[in-house]
Amino acid sequence: MSAPQLVLASGSSARRALLLGAGLRFSVTVSTVDEEALKTQLLAAKAAPIEIAADLASAKAVQVSLTEPGLIIGADQTLDLNGTLFSKPNSLTDLGHQLAQLRGQRHSLHSAIALARDGRVVWQDVVSAHLTMRDFSDRFLQAYLADHGQDVLGCVGGYKLESAGVQLFDQIDGDYFTILGLPLTGLLGALRLFGVVMT
């Protein structure tokens, strides 16, 4: 019996690269879940950032599983500063304000992942990493925005740890894959259980 089809419900190039690097074969069907609307509802219900990540990942996986066969991977990541949810910055100005707020602070990245099949979640997990930004100078911040700002606008934290974003930090506690938005070791364990990856 062949392994079930695997589908990534995300347009994230970083997530695609991680799955490819792990040797997985999969297709991509990007979820059309209205993330902002769902996030607004969850915030109104006083959901915590870690719960929002889990609910968004599940919603994406379930939505795609209604039209695609096999196992669907849904993923989401939220940034949590002392219980306050941060969203992806929309402009360099927003990015500058966000990094200024995070400067000198410890924040959490909650990376959620869900597997769905036939309209229901069959496995899910949330893994958190904790990062402390150094108290960098305004001069450094302006140089970072000029050199790397456009490249990181699609990232919830306003940085890419795998590139110059690492210079923002004093301390990093957590799994590298979690920080990139896909807790890969846990996912691979789940895919072994479902017969997608060899045991």
Distance CA 101, CA 85 (A): 12
- Cβ contacts of residue 105 below 8 Å, gap of 6+? 81, 82, 132, 133
Least confident of 67-71, 142-146, 153-157: 153-157
Give the separation between CA 107 and CA 131, rounded to whole angstroms. 5
The sign of the CA dihedral 90, 130, 18, 21 is positive
Residue 139 to residue 137: CA distance in whole angstroms? 5
Report the alpha-carbon angle 74-77-67, nearest 5.
15
**Contact present, 8 and 198 (Cβ < 8 Å):** no
Is a pLDDT exceeding 80 seen at residue 167? yes
Task: Give residue 161's pLDDT.
Answer: 86
Q: Which CATH class is domain 6-193?
A: alpha beta
How many distinct helices (H) and strands (E) make up the chain? 7, 7
Mind listing the pLDDT tens digit for each residue in 88-143?
899 999 999 999 999 999 999 999 999 999 999 999 999 999 999 999 999 999 99
Tell me, what's the pLDDT at 87? 87
Quick check: is 94 catalytic? no
pLDDT at 145: 94
- pLDDT of 98 reads 95
**pLDDT for res 3:** 62
- Answer for the pair 96, 135: CB distance below 8 angstroms, yes or no: no
- For residue 56, is pLDDT > 60? yes
Q: What pLDDT does residue 163 have?
A: 85
Q: Which of 34, 55, 76, 135 is the catalytic position?
A: 76
* pLDDT band at 2; cut points 50, 70, 90: low
- DSSP assignment of 130-146: EEEE----HHHHHHHHH
Residues above pLDDT 70, as percent of the chain: 98
* Domain spans, the chain: 6-193
Summary mean pLDDT of the chain? 94
Query: Which pLDDT band holds residue 197 (cuts at 50, 70, 90)?
Result: confident
User: CB-based contacts of 181: which residues, under 8 Å, 6+ apart?
Assistant: 12, 14, 15, 75, 77, 111
Task: Report the b/e string of 36-62 with b at 16+ CB within 10 A.
Answer: eebbeebeeeebebbbbbbbbbbbbbb
Alpha-helical (H) ranges within the chain are 13-21, 35-44, 49-65, 92-102, 138-152, 176-179, 184-193
Among 62-66, 112-116, 158-162, the minimum mean pLDDT is found in 158-162
pLDDT tens figures, 16-41? 999 999 999 999 999 999 999 999 99
